Amino acid sequence: MRKNTKNTAKFGKLLELIYNMKLKLIGTSHWPELCAIDEKARQLYEIYKNDNNSPADPNWKQKRAYGFLKFYYKQQQQKK
């Protein structure tokens, strides 16, 4: 998952919904399951927050552009 503002907002909304459900269902038989869901969501958020999504190859843009141009020229040759 890419780290951007939209995904951060989605995580925030998810954690807020879980918190509100915990407040409504406190002391019921659903409490342990809800706590387990909350814990998993928080673990995923921590992984997302601490993830470094930088590509391993610093020249990935050039390689991708070259691949696209190669594909494009091949398509143009097939149309002739």
How high is the pLDDT of residue 19?
A: 92
Chain-centre distance for alpha carbon 60: 21
Angle 41-42-48 from CA coordinates, rounded to 5°: 90
Task: Say how far apart CA 80 and CA 70 lie, in whole Å.
Answer: 16
Whether 2 contacts 55, CB under 8 Å: no
Task: Say how far apart CA 78 and CA 69 lie, in whole Å.
Answer: 14
Show pLDDT as tens, one digit a residue, over the chain (80 residues): 777 888 889 999 999 999 999 899 888 898 899 999 999 999 998 888 887 766 667 788 898 999 999 999 999 998 76
Residue ranges per structural domain of the chain: 5-79
